Chains A and B, each alone.
Chain A
Amino acid sequence: MAVASKTDVKSKPQVKEDIWIPTSCGQCYCMCGVKVRRQDGIITELEGNPDAPTGRGHICAKGLASPQLMYDPYRVNYPLKRTNPEKGLHVDPKWERISWEEALETIVKKLKECQERDPRGAYFQATTTQASEIRFGVIGFMKGFGTPNYWVSGGGLHCGNGAHFMNGIMHVSWSIIPDFAHCNYALNFGCSKGHGAGHVAVQNATQVADARARGFKNVVFDPFQSAQASKAHEWVPIRVGTDGALALGLVNSLLNEHGIYDAEYLMYKTNSPYLIRPSDGRYMRDKETNNPLVWDLVDNCPKVHNDPSVTRVEYEDEAHEAALTGKYTVEGVECTPAFELLKEHVKKYTPEYVEKITWVPAATISRIAKEFGEAAEIGSTVTIQTSKGPKKVPRRPVATHFFRGAQGHTNSGWTCLSIDMVNHMVGAADTYGSALGLGGSVGQGYEPTGKPYQIPYPCPDGLLVAKTWVYDHKPYPMRKPGPPTRLDLHDMFPTSIYNAFTITSPRWFEMLERFKIPYKPDVMLNFGSNSVMTMGNSEAVTENFLKKFNFIFSFQLYITEFEEAVADIVLPDACFLERYTPAVSFPSTFSHPQGEDDWGWTIRQPVIKPLYERRDFNEVMLDICERLGIHGKFYKGLNDSIGVRYGGEMSDKYKLVEDGSVKHTWEDITDRLLKDRFGDEHGLEHVRKTGVFTWPKKKEDVYWKWFNPSRVPVYFEYFIDSGEQIDKLWNEYGGKDFFDFDWTRFKALADWYPCPTHTEENPEFDMHTFYWRAVMHCNSMTQQNPWLDECSQEDPNVYAVQMHVATAKEKGIADGDKIWMENPQGHRVRGWVSLSEGIEPHHLAIAAVAGHWGKYMPIAKGKGTFFNDLVEMDLEHTDPLTFNQDICARVKIYKVED
């Protein structure tokens, strides 16, 4: 066993020195700009990098704690192989230290065998913590080797299957966030944005604190006193998983109770005026151009949606009004504007009806809708200085925002859309003060090169299409479902990013046969993920999915529960302090701040050479590809990927050589990418001095709504087609024998659907449990950091199960008692109780991802509760629209007897 022997840990001062090196943090996917202090060869401290817009000189506890990640004696420092052929949870792998040569020879042999059988049998699994590395080593390999199969750790569970997809459709962004600098009133649906966790965490914390100081009001809907609820202007306790119903209640209240909506916005920036034919709910289209029609109220006739007479790109453009309400006859068919249908559709979400679902009082719903609508100040404008001179744009200082808390349910897709719909009703989208696409996803690029270019454009139907997107497939236009080629049948499901219910089904192989997938899972490559703990119920994940692979090798920092259960070889990865990454803050997802601050392209550069026999993941992937003779294809994969993800094709001058005649180092790749984006003089030598290349953001890119000709949907006409297509395909294969999908959720207008948590009828299961994210943790790795662990122990809630004082009294439970929480399927997890007044009495709150049991993460071991074991891996607990998993569960509780 060679994980941490006593002779390994020695102080090896290299030179007498005390220097600060700028790079990017890697403790979570926010990846803030940092400066790292190296004293006598030892990394001792981190600070925020004031030059980097990503952080602007501040850094959170996780980043500050990273010196411990570098020197943790439990890091994996040498390649290891499993000598015990048995796999499974709690099995001792009987690790044996091997050389890198032996490890790579074995891996390459296994990959070659896989290549001969079918390269698609290779499956890449990777962690979001190192999101920027995924876009190089993982994507390059997949394209070079020829496999479409991958899963990003947490995808479908705590990641944003629903949120990313829907925000992509509505904002061409990964997420949404209030324009904190100018927003006056926000509705926060259970998300920690601006309160330490989540996305662009550090700037958002600064921005929201500044906003609060000037009187910004944040109403937080959350079942418990989360960090955001504790700082809220108003905390409204809500029943978990019902955020979508509340949002639709707000939409109804705005439209039908208070009569507040932004007609101008809806008319020119959404598909609200599109005429819908009653027969099938589709757009009424122009015979000649096939474009959707609107009704021109001045000329009193139908016009195509992009007819200049009914179109306003910029706010000061002039156009005829188009009908939002009423009935209009086109070619003998009586059509209705989409907005009218929406307005009618939401009428059932009366405050009283919504109160029954959400437990939020009807009067509160009605009041908050009014406050939000009034705070939107519909009609108000502001003049901003654009690159083309001063321009007037709408000022809408309100926003709703959300993330995992609201979206992690079986109603995920529609919940996300419903919450955002509140914004669109009052025109509060991507304009001054409103809900902005998080990450600054729209930009004209650095002026001299025009890259990265990320200006969205309209499709022929007029709807918003992303120019740059983090995945090969854009959120819109939707892919056509096709015969599956992937192990998770992903090709059939255009609205999902990932799904887990197929690959973790006990009938997975039977399904592959039925769906005519001509290959089986073969070799799994794992980069940093601990999917035993981050995918859902650990037994289902291990037995039905992970154990189906012939060979698994894993790049890891620690030996996690995943390696212990199933890995054949563990490779000692370098951590973020020991590697190059050519692009960190781009593509704009979690790690670039919204708002008016500069653009900043951050990189990673090694602060220290990898210790022991650690090697950088990306470097090893290149080595493996070279041994497989596919490194030319790897580079081609990167060239292609850069074109899609980083705002423009690589020029011939800097393109990576695709014929395999050159071996590019990551230093070289970083240099080429920087020079290609920012000119010859701004290569790595220039950027490494500050760790970032910055250029000014144009105001018309920050508040892009009224500078772009695209519209967004409030009526999702194309979902109907998609549902019909998938249903047809599914039935062709006899998919119903496996899963009976409710494809009716593919429809044009939003609804709320209950989770199993809401329909559970057995009164024994009387508690709703859910998980939240503690600010000092990200995913599962940070739990091993001793400093973060110590801080976690300072907070009474991080390792505890929060229970309301009255509930505990009723159940005879005292503060500190150990309890089991068991779901209706018989899965149970344990934890100890912390009594609180700050939680809705029918709920139990658990901070994730805790409850490690692996012996090679001794700091993390036995702390907190392993919530994910309660997550059922089946269709019933999955959103049929986006395949987001349900992360609320009904449980019964009882004391642990030991």
Chain B
Amino acid sequence: MPRYGMVIDLKRCFGCYACSMACKTVNHTPPGVFWARVLMGEVGTFPNAVRQALPMLCMQCEEPSCLEVCPTGATQKRDDGIVIVDKDKCMGCKYCIMACPYGARYSVDKWESYFPDGLPLSPLEEFQKKAWEEKSGVGVATKCDFCIDRLAEGKLPSCVEACPAKARIFGDLDDPDSEVSVLIKKERGQVLNPEFGNKPKVYYLFPR
């Protein structure tokens, strides 16, 4: 059984938002929901200031705070390490949203249109609404699941596949020869805020 993880190479990422967009189209997330979010910030002062993009997603923690606080058992960790939400078990208490230190969880009360003026949903939006309600659900916690449906078809998570800079690498952390394992070792991959103690499985390669 693999133990899935991801490496995000910040030296390659230039903040194009293709990951955000790919996730949106594949997972049908409604307005305001970014399972694959890109935070854009700036460090330093002129002329040494640098703009830095930081792609964020569910860190698929080994010790997920969200799982710990879930009162119904809706949040589960699969054998491959992917943290998922069983929407039928979720009662929408949002404890997990509060507990996640990485801000990776979202909940919406309804699937809303992007368009103003109260127009009926477009055919695309109707499709997306249906797909979202069937898979993720309204009034419940939702989050990135490394595109488990795509994994089942032998495909990569949508953000990984789209990335024009190939800044996202996905694979088996237990396989020492996998690209992710090699990169983490060779380029000293780091997790965000290790002090939280969640043991994330998303590693970042920082610019030196």
Contacts and interface: CB of A to CB of B under 8 A. Distances in A.
Given A11-B127, A70-B124, A230 B52 contact: yes
Contacts of A859: 114-116
A40 interface: yes
B114 A787 contact: yes
Contact of B14 (A39, A48, A195): A195
A209 B12 contact: yes
A787 B21 contact: yes
Counting chain B CB atoms within 10 Å of each CB, the highest count among A46, A72, A237, A837 belongs to: A837
B15 A47 contact: no
B57 to A, nearest CB: 14
A838 B25 contact: no
A40 B127 contact: yes
B162 A59 contact: yes
Contacts of A195: 14, 16
Nearest to A70: B124
Contact of B49 (A59, A73, A838): A838
Contacts of B11: 209, 212-213, 231
B2 interface: no
A838 B42 contact: yes
B146 interface: no
A61 B46 contact: no
Nearest to B24: A787
A786 B16 contact: no
Interface string A207-223: 01110110000000000
Given A837-B49, A840-B46, A209 B165 contact: yes
Contacts of A205: 14, 16, 164-165
Contacts, number: 185
Given A230-B50, A858-B115, A6 B120 contact: yes
A837 B16 contact: no
Nearest to B32: A790
A229 B17 CA distance: 17
A64 B115 contact: no
Interface string A53-80: 0000111110011011011111000000
Nearest to A212: B11
A529 B110 CA distance: 37
B34 interface: yes
B79 interface: no
B110 to A, nearest CB: 17
Interface string B27-50: 000011010011010101111011
Interface stretch (A288-296, A328-336, A791-799): A791-799
| Most chain B CB inside 10 Å of its own CB: which residue of A6, A61, A237 | A61
A207 B114 CA distance: 35
A643 to B, nearest CB: 35
A44 interface: yes
Interface in A1-58: 4, 6, 9-12, 39-40, 42-48, 57-58
A201 interface: yes
B50 to A, nearest CB: 6
Contact of A786 (B12, B115, B126, B167): B115
Contact of B123 (A10, A209, A794): A10
A48 B162 contact: yes
A225 interface: yes
B49 A44 contact: no
A240 to B, nearest CB: 15
B17 A44 contact: no
Contact of A225 (B20, B31, B32, B50): B50
A836 interface: yes
Contacts of B120: 6, 9-10, 73
Contacts of B14: 195-196, 205, 209, 227-228, 230-231, 775
A791 B46 contact: no
A11 B130 CA distance: 12
Contact of A776 (B16, B37, B164): B16
A768 to B, nearest CB: 15
Contacts of B37: 794
Interface in A59-108: 59-61, 64-65, 67-68, 70-74
Nearest to A4: B119
A839 B45 CA distance: 10
Interface string B151-192: 000000000011111110000000000000000000000000
Interface of B: 9, 11-12, 14-18, 20-22, 24-26, 31-32, 34, 37-38, 40, 42, 44-47, 49-53, 114-117, 119-128, 161-167
The 6 closest A-B pairs by CB, nearest first: A786-B114, A837-B49, A205-B164, A71-B122, A230-B51, A71-B124
12 contacts: A11-B126, A68-B114, A68-B124, A70-B124, A72-B122, A73-B122, A196-B164, A225-B49, A794-B20, A795-B38, A837-B46, A840-B46
Interface of A: 4, 6, 9-12, 39-40, 42-48, 57-61, 64-65, 67-68, 70-74, 195-196, 201-202, 205-206, 208-210, 212-213, 225, 227-231, 235, 237, 775-776, 786-791, 794-797, 804, 806, 836-841, 858-859
Given A9-B120, A43-B124, A794-B37, 4 more contacts: A60-B164, A71-B124, A213-B11, A804-B46
